[in-house]
Amino acid sequence: MQPFELVRAPSPSDAAKLTKDEETRLIAGGTNLLDLMKLQVETPSRLADISRLDCAEITDTLDGGLRIGSLVTNTATAVHSRIRQDYPVLARAILAGATQQLRNKATTGGNLCQRTRCFYFTNIDQPCNKRNPGSGCGAIEGVAKLHAVLGTSDQCIATYPGDMAVAMSALGAEVHILKEDGTERSLPVRDFHLLPGDTPWRENVLERGEIITVVTLPPPVGGTHYYRKVRERSSYAFALVSVAAVIDIEDGVFTRADLAFGGLAHKPWCNPEIGAVLLGKTPDASLFEKAADVLLQAARGFGENDFKIPLARRTLRAVLSQAVEDAA
């Protein structure tokens, strides 16, 4: 790693101020940042330790939802009784990710901000427009098994690798951001991450001088929750394709189909039109195909990741079929 100054941020607003400096990174769990610093993908000259800030609680909101502090670890979120009871898709998604050792350290805020696992991004000798704007994209005609099939640009085909954010997107969670002037803003997690476009180095809406403080979950809607993660081994591997779903089937028709997809894009993929295809309809094979058609209408493979397109279709179909089976 390159040398850096380590400072401790005494408060969230101090932390927000520290991020105004280009060369400063916040460090909480550190499981992504330190990985990248050892590879010199990240080379901050200052680290602001926020790991002991008072943002590590899960509390009820007035409307019956939940507030998850940005420093709550993945483990603490997944094992919380209200999460397990009322938002199981979130617990499932978190537990499907990484390992217990990593989940014990990874934080809500950090996990939202985690960076891609693209081989060209993580190797500083390789062309990568995200890491080194203008240098090109090695993946587009290179090794692209992990890469995106939706929302790509000619500059970048990287995927967002996380699971938690996919479930949060399906649940309609909101992320709350504190600015260094003390004001706050919030927006749906669905809108937190960005597509690469012409600015692949911009991965989310955070500006310098901003810090995530809390993620809120709306009041629980019930339904049956699914997180299906398809990967090359049954644990400790990133998703090739994942589906987060909150489903309700009443009187033989879909009354709820909140869906989000991982492994397919630079962000968790959320298209309300997919669920809209299902609402009010009787589940059957052709309906599932229609939903998959909407999901994949603009899908484009890059050779090695062509498989993700039929795989996404089949995974969605499998989740919906499972939901039907469970409703019976």
Partner 1 sequence: MSMNQTDNDGKARLDDMTQGVLGEPLPRIDGLAKVTGMARYAAEYPIDNCAEGVLVTSTITHGTVTRLDTEAALAMPGVIAVIDDSRLTTRAAQGTANEAPQQAPVTVCYWGQPIALVVAESFEQARDAAKRIVVEYDVSPSPPLAPGDVTPEEQEDDTVSEGDLEHAMKDAAHSVDVEIMTKGHASAAMEPHAAIADWDGERLTVHASLQMLNYNITELADALDLPEEKVRLVARYVGGGFGSKLGISQDVVAASLASIKLKRPVRVVLSRQQVFQCVMRRSETTQRLRLAATSDGKLIGFGHEALVSNLPGEEFCEPVLQSSHFMYRGENRELMLNLARIHRMTAGSVRAPGEAVGMPALEAAMDMLAEKSGVDPVALRLMNIPDKNPESSLPFSSHKLAECLRQGAEAFGWDGGPRKARQRREGEWWIGTGMASGARIHSTKESKARVTLLADGTARIETDMTDIGTGLHDPCPNGRRDARYRSCDGAGGHWRHAPPPGPRIGRKLGCGFDRLGGLPRLPRDPRRPRCAGRVGRGCARIARWQGRRRSQADRCSRRRQPIP
Partner 2 sequence: MAGTIDINGTAHPLPADARTSLLDFLRHDLGLTGTKKGCDHGQCGACTVIVNGLRINSCLTLTAMHEGDQVTTIEGIGAPDAPSNLQDAFMAHDAFQCGYCTPGQICSTQAMLAEIAEGWPSDAAADLTAEVTCSDEEIRERMSGNLCRCGAYANIVAAIRDVAKERADATV
Question: 174 forms bridges with which residues in the sheet?
Answer: 188, 216
DSSP per residue over 189-213, as a string? GGGTB---TT-TT--BSPPTTEEEE
Q: Which of 321, 189, 173, 315 is nearest to 247 (CA)?
A: 321
Q: What are phi and psi of 192, to 5 degrees?
A: -70, -45
Residues near partner 1 (CB under 8 A) are 1-3, 38, 40, 124-125
Work out how close the CB of 224 gets to partner 2 at its nearest, in angstroms, rounded to a whole number.
13
**Residue 124 touches partner 2, criterion: CB under 8 A:** no
Residue 101 binds partner 2, judged by CB under 8 A: yes
What part of residues 26-65 is at the interface with partner 2 (CB under 8 A)? 27, 30-31, 34-35, 38, 47, 49, 51
Kindly list the distances between the CA atom of residue 325 and the CA atoms of 87, 255, 274, 316, 320, in Å, as whole numbers in the listed order.
21, 16, 20, 14, 9
If you count DSSP H runs as helices and E runs as strands, how many of each does the chain have, helices first? 11, 11
Q: Tell me: does residue 224 bind partner 2 (CB under 8 A).
A: no
Cα R_g (the chain), whole angstroms: 20
- Report, in Å, the least distance between residue 25 CB and partner 1: 17
Nearer to partner 2, 105 or 147 (CB): 105
Asked if 100 touches partner 2 (CB under 8 A), the answer is: yes
Work out which of 6, 22, 183, 280 binds partner 2, going by CB under 8 A.
6
Please identify which residue in 26, 98, 137, 148 interacts with partner 2, judged by CB under 8 A. 98
Backbone region of residue 23 per phi and psi (left: phi > 0; alpha: psi in -120 to 50; beta: other values): alpha
Q: Which residues bind partner 2 (CB under 8 A)?
A: 1, 3-6, 27, 30-31, 34-35, 38, 47, 49, 51, 75, 78-79, 81, 84-85, 88, 91-92, 95-96, 98-102, 104-105, 235-236
